[in-house]
Amino acid sequence: MNAILPGATLGVVGGGQLGRMFAHAAQRMGYLVAVLDPDADSPAGRVSHHHIHTDYADIDGLARLAGLADAITTEFENVPAPSLEHLAVARPVRPAAAAVAIAQDRVREKSHFVGCGVDCAPYAVIESAEQVVLVPPNLLPGILKTARLGYDGKGQQRVNTREELAAAWDRAGQVPCVLEKLLPLDYECSVIVARGQDGQVVHFPPQRNLHRDGILAVTEVHADNVPEAAGRLAVESAVAIAEGLQYVGVLCVEFFVLADGALVVNEMAPRPHNSGHWTLDACDVSQFELQVRTLAGLPLNAPRQHSPALMLNLLGDLWFPDDDAKPVEPRWADVLALPGAHLHLYGKTEARRGRKMGHLTITGSSIETVRGTADFAAALLG
Ligand code: ADP
Ligand code: MG
């Protein structure tokens, strides 16, 4: 297929912050953007040329999107795969519904990892009461995760015994789940790759991630971020996982590095990822520009990081310094006065605890400088 050139319209299913940053990247390059999202006030819809607000499975809405857009991508993984299949009849859809469907289901996702020869945490599929009884004892203590629709630690329960497992599976509504062995994590990292329709693959350096309460809090990327051998294996594994899917688009693969140094894959996201937001400010090509390029069939330029970087997620909690008071706007002017501070706010009208409202990337000449500035910023934000 020929490249889709600037001037054309790119479509995105989902109107959250990832769609908004995709729209910014596409518009900078001269594309128009059409967003489908049920929320009339969605972060991406507010900055796009066209905003279709219907449900993701609405046949009429999908037809309108296909009518407007020359190619279509997604920005969150719970888009119904049948909607993507439906769109693909009319227009190129990247990533393909088949790859998104695998990433949406932890059972299929783990089989894919195993099939690609990449180690994941020891696990068992839990789909019946019998499977609860038969769970191998070495998987306990473990984490029970719903196979579908989990994010930011939602849909997960820690269990120590078989009795707790049975109770947790009941609480989960006896939906299909996986039980994963609880592993001793040293740290977590992720790798973002972009793969074109011609099979060309480029990647960003491994990102070191810190989660709080199941939500990404901080990402750091600098030269000694991840030990060389683990970093190389993480990149090779992410590339193998993308190639195994014949993937076209941007894919993020999350890993655990264990206390003994072993690398274990955790999960993947078939889209740009929160842990890659730093690429907007510290690389010559961002994860969102690569999403545009893979979607439009343009050549992929290997990204070059030009500065150490640290990203702080800005959750709605920052708007509530006092417990039950009204929301207060954080001290943006002071934060913006910090050298190397790059503020990104997603245009969400209502701040809520745990809600991703924006992020702050700090760049600087060394990671020590960057961390110093980030400490200042964190103190200012309370
Ligand atoms: P989500 O889809 O909500 O991001 P994850 O499977 O990535 O779910 O789990 C969220 C977090 O929980 C991980 O980032 C990690 O900190 C912790 N976690 C998940 N699985 C394990 C495990 N098997 N052992 C130890 N910690 C885990
Ligand atoms: Mg995760």
Residues with CB under 6 A from ligand 1: 121, 143, 145, 150-153, 180, 182-183, 185, 188, 211, 214, 254, 266-267
> What 3-state class would DSSP assign to 379?
helix
**255 CA distance to ligand 2 centroid (A)?**
9
Q: What pLDDT score was predicted for residue 1? A: 61
**319 CA distance to ligand 2 centroid (A)?**
25
Arithmetic mean of pLDDT, 254-280: 97
Q: What pLDDT score was predicted for residue 315? A: 96
pLDDT surpasses 80 at 150: no
> What are the angstrom distances between the C-alpha of 181 and each of 116, 137, 210, 227?
20, 10, 20, 24
Among the listed residues 201, 156, 152, the one whose alpha carbon sits nearest the alpha carbon of residue 355: 152
Q: What pLDDT score was predicted for residue 66? A: 98
Give residue-wise pLDDT tens across range 10-21. Answer: 999 999 999 999
**275 CA distance to ligand 2 centroid (A)?**
10
Q: Measured between alpha carbons, how far is 213 from 71 in angstroms, rounded to an integer?
A: 37
Q: Which ligand is nearest to the CA of 148?
A: 1
Domain 122-181, CATH 3.40.630.10 — does that match?
no
* 246 conformational bin, left if phi > 0, alpha if psi -120 to 50, beta if neither: left
Q: What pLDDT score was predicted for residue 155? A: 79
Q: What pLDDT score was predicted for residue 341? A: 98
pLDDT surpasses 90 at 203: yes
The domain 185-381: what is its CATH number?
3.30.470.20
Q: What pLDDT score was predicted for residue 154? A: 78
What number does the ligand 1 atom closest to the CA of 106 have? 6
Q: What pLDDT score was predicted for residue 149? A: 82
> What 3-state class would DSSP assign to 191?
strand
With the most atoms of ligand 1 within 8 angstroms of its CB, the residue from 140, 149, 266, 273 to mutate is 266
Q: Which of 58-62, 75-79, 96-100, 262-266 has the lowest mean pLDDT?
A: 75-79
Q: What is the pTM of this model?
A: 0.96
**270 CA distance to ligand 2 centroid (A)?**
12
Domain 9-93 is of which CATH architecture?
3-Layer(aba) Sandwich (3.40)
Q: In what order do the strands lie in the sheet with 123-126?
A: 123-126, 177-181, 142-146, 156-159
Q: What pLDDT score was predicted for residue 4? A: 98
**52 CA distance to ligand 2 centroid (A)?**
29
Q: How far is CA 254 from the centre of its chain?
A: 9
Residue 35 has phi, psi (to 5 degrees) of -115, 140
What number does the ligand 1 atom closest to the CA of 152 have? 3
> Does this chain's domain 122-181 share its CATH topology with 185-381?
no
pLDDT surpasses 90 at 147: yes
What lies within 8 Å, CB to CB, of 71 at 6+ separation is: 4, 8, 10, 11, 91, 92, 93, 94, 295, 296, 297
Helix residue ranges per DSSP H, 271-363: 279-282, 287-296, 332-336
pLDDT surpasses 90 at 26: yes
**Domain boundaries along the sequence of the chain:** 9-93, 122-181, 185-381
What number does the ligand 1 atom closest to the CA of 209 have? 14
Arithmetic mean of pLDDT, 135-153: 90
Give residue-wise pLDDT tens across range 274-328. Answer: 999 999 999 999 999 999 999 999 999 999 999 999 999 999 999 998 876 789 9
Give residue-wise pLDDT tens across range 336-366. Answer: 999 999 999 999 999 999 999 999 999 999 9
**256 CA distance to ligand 1 centroid (A)?**
9
What number does the ligand 1 atom closest to the CA of 142 have? 23
**175 CA distance to ligand 1 centroid (A)?**
19
Q: Which two tokens stand for residue 160?
A: 């120590």
